[in-house]
Each structure stands twice: as C-alpha cells, then as structure tokens.
Amino acid sequence: MSATATAPSASPGAASALRRLHAARSVFAVAWALALLSTASRLGPLAVALLVLYPLVDAAAAALDARRPSSVGALAGLRLNVVISLAAAVAVAAACASGIPAVLRVWGAWAVVAGLVQLAVGVTRRRLGGQAAMVASGALSTAAGASFVVLASRDVPTLANVAGYAFLGGVFFGVSALRLRHADRTD
C-alpha cells in the first residue's frame, strides 16, 4: 500500500458508489458471521466453504472498488488488497486441512496485513467522508489479527472470534455507508 498516495477528490457520485459497495459488504459480513457462528466449534464443510468465501468476496469487492474513478489515490492499496485476499483464500483452504488452530493463525496474519491496508486506504480517502469507520476498522483488524494468532494456542480453539470479527467489520462497513450517504447529500 502506498501511504504517500494523494487523497482522491470527492467527485460527484463517488461517495454514492462507495456507499453502495460498503452497504453490500456490511450485509454480507453480518450474514456470513451469523452463518459461521452456527458452526464455529468444528471445521465441517460449511465452515470451510465460509472461511474460503470471505477472503474471495473481499478480493472481489476490492477489485470492484479499484475500478472506480474515485479510487485513484487508493488504487495501489486496493490492488494490494486483491492480491493479499486471494492469497489468504488459498492459505485458509490449505490451513483447513490442519485444523482450527492453523486457520486462526492464517486468518490472523491476513487480518493484520489487510487491516493495515484498509487503514491506509481509509486515510487516503478521507476527503470522500465516511472514512473514520474504515480507519478504525483497519486498526481494529490489525489488533484482532494478532489476537487470533494467540487464540490458536488455546486448549479448545474456536472460530467464534472470527465470526465476531466479521460481524464487527460488517457494522463498520454499515457505519461507513451511512456516513457516505450524508457525504453524498452534501455534494
């Protein structure tokens, strides 16, 4: 992520397009978290599918976002996020064969790196409005990722914290969408 990228100007409709993307990501993350929570104690087929799906959706959302003109200043970070999330999907799939502790370690590493990228992208987009939630989410993701690595060494590790992490991420995306709605009205 290029932290030195210039902040994009708030072009008409830029906040609206980003708002729709963040709203969709919010709904997906909350639904995903609830589905994962139903199977958080074991790595059955549903949990494995959900765990691989989440970073794939993250990659797809970042790729869509990178195609928008308002993403110019954040383009390097968005492209980096696509690569990181695709790699995470492959690594999570491989980790699923080794059990929940391995999944937590991989998910934690992904959360740390992706959180730092999200934080930087939020900072570069501050002129669009609604980015305080994304900056906070990126910082929290980084801290949560480190905690997943620690949680992997528990006697009975569970995916419940990953579900909680995704749920909270969905809340942050929802807040950002609401704040972007306000920013779009003031354009």
Q: How many CB atoms lie within 10 A of CB 142?
A: 18
Q: What type of residue sits at position 101?
A: P
| Amino acid 148: pLDDT | 97
| Amino acid 67: pLDDT | 86
The Cα 147–Cα 145 span in angstroms is: 5
Distances (CA, A) of 143 to 17, 110, 149: 29, 11, 10
Task: Dump pLDDT digits (tens) for 22-77.
Answer: 899 999 999 999 999 999 989 999 999 999 999 999 999 999 988 876 665 778 88
Task: Dump pLDDT digits (tens) for 96-138.
Answer: 999 999 999 999 999 999 999 988 888 887 776 667 777 888 8
Strands (E), 61-153: none
> Distance of alpha carbon 2 from its chain centroid, rounded?
18
Prediction pTM value: 0.85
Q: How confident is the model at residue 3 (pLDDT cuts 50, 70, 90)?
A: very low
Which among 92, 64, 95, 97 is positioned nearest to 166, based on CA atoms? Answer: 92
Task: Dump pLDDT digits (tens) for 148-178.
Answer: 999 999 999 999 999 999 999 899 889 888 9
The Cα 69–Cα 58 span in angstroms is: 19
| Amino acid 14: pLDDT | 64
Q: What type of residue sits at position 130?
A: G
Q: CA geometry: angle at 89 spanning 142 and 49, to 5°?
A: 115
